[in-house]
Structure 1
Amino acid sequence: MKAFILSDIHSNIQSLRAVWERESDSDIIYCTGDLVDCGPFPGEVIDWVRKHQVICTKGNHDERIIAHYHSRIKMEDLPDNKGNWAYHNAGCLNDEEIRFLQELPESVECRMDGFHYCMKHQFGEKYETIESIHQLRHFWSKHTAAVETHSQAKRVIFGHTHWQAVQYLKDDELWMNPGSTSYRPTRQKEDRSLDAHYITITDGQIRMKSVDYDVTPLIRASAEVHLPSYWG
């Protein structure tokens, strides 16, 4: 079985299409959330996710767009210095699309190829990562219905940080982050990259991957609505 693991798409349909062209033989798709915000194509991303029956959890930016949508404040009514992607995205979506975001679960658990997984958008309140086996097991007991045993294999999936990683805390207990298919916050100049990051899991084997794609349509669409581009 092949699983395709995504996170932090952020209204970037260009990257989503690019990675799917590479991984379209996947049997199932998971996404940790942040489908929308920070990019120009929220409706297209939601449509793609629904069409491909992606199993998603809800991200903090999804929550943000829901809140902006229900505020009924339109971007064109805001002062120039107050407009942002959240107002733009909320104005692009309809009731059905917002309802889809609202109904996304906070966490999901599943089994694949003998491994037990728990997926949630983020660990902690900010950008923390799991540093110890104690933290992983506490997270596991809080977000799964599984009976806790120390001998049980555990794989946690979360996103939010935009940085790709797999960290083993024991041979059969680990967490992974597929990174963002859209963009990464710049830490150092040399860290900057515009490729799409994701993970595949084939018969239990984890592989961290990336795909280069054309960001020109994103830059152009950002300029058309006078909002900042994360792609140049």
Structure 2
Amino acid sequence: MTVALISDVHANKPALGAVMDDLPDVNGYVHAGDAVGYNPYPQDCVDALRELGAVNVQGNHDRAVAGDASFGFHSTAGRAVEWTERHVNGETLDWLGALPQERETVFGDTRVKIVHGAPGAPDRYTYPRDFAPSLLRDEDVLVMGHTHVQGKEEYDKGVVVNPGGVGQPRDGDPRAAYALLDEETGEVELHRVEYPVEEVQDEIRRAGLPESLAERLEEGR
């Protein structure tokens, strides 16, 4: 069976919907943090992830919206955090605040560890160029997010993968990113899918969020 690996949904409902529509039949969902932030559908996206029963970890935007301001956001991201706080309900704030920063689970024969930034360092940006076998411990697959840059590396010890940003890709490809894990073999495939970027841009502007958040979506940055 197959498991869907996603990360950094960032309140982008159309992008998440496109990924869900593109998936084959899957046996589970992993989300490596940042359900909210930047985009204008935070409540919808949290509701969707909870309904899917996804194995979630907490991203820095999730933590900030829940009330922890320890991560140093630039002004644009900070404005989106403040906007998001006003547009989700109390139950969602509690849920975001209670998410763990790391999780381990097993799918079939495959041991999976999920973090946002890096093991033991949830806010560290770990780009594909930084992947190394030393990131792996006992797990077969390490799933990371935070950079919004899709990539994977296979080692004798296992696989390190960032499925990429669903809601705000930053690798020059504006399509929503995700990955698929074969739970029997531990193999990981990377995928991209188009979604209606203009629809999200229009809603960003209607919501009064910063214009730069709309512009970057069409550029994948």
* 2:208 paired with 1:212: no
Describe how 1:70-81 pairs up with structure 2 within 5 A.
none
Q: What RMSD in Å do the two structures reach over aligned CA positions?
A: 2.3
Matches for 1:118-197 after TM superposition, within 5 Å: 118-123=113-118, 124=121, 125-129=123-127, 130-133=130-133, 135-137=134-136, 140=137, 154-170=140-156, 172-185=157-170, 192-197=172-177
Alignment partner, residue 92 of structure 1: 87
CA contact (8 A) 2:169 2:177 kept: no
- Please tell me whether the aligned partners of residues 131 and 160 of structure 2 are also in contact (alpha carbons under 8 angstroms): no
Q: What is the aligned-residue identity percentage?
A: 22
Q: Is the 8 A contact 1:12 1:41 kept in 2?
A: yes
Structure 2 residues without counterparts, runs of 5 or longer: 70-75
In structure 2, distance between residues paired with 1:174 and 1:200: 12
Which residue identity does 1:182 align to in structure 2? G
Q: Which runs of 4+ in 1 moved over 6 A?
A: none
Which AA in structure 1 matches 2:108? D
Q: Which amino acid aligns with 2:124?
A: K
Letter in 2 for 1:34: D
1:113 partner letter? G
What's the offset of the Cα at 1:169? 3.2
How does the TM-score come out when normalised to structure 1? 0.79
* Aligned residue identity for 1:136: L
> Is the 2:58–2:101 Cα contact (8 Å) retained in structure 1?
yes
CA distance in 1, matches of 2:163, 2:92: 25
211 and 132 in structure 1: CA distance in 2 versus 1, 3 angstrom threshold? closer
Q: Is the contact made by 1:68 and 1:86 (CA closer than 8 Å) also made in structure 2?
A: no
Looking at structure 1, the residues matched to 41 and 54 of structure 2 have their Cα atoms a distance apart, in angstroms, of 17
Give the match for residue 16 of structure 2.
16
Q: Which amino acid aligns with 1:165?
A: G
Equivalent pairs counted in the alignment come to 202
Q: CA deviation at 1:24?
A: 5.3
* TM-score, normalisation: structure 2: 0.83
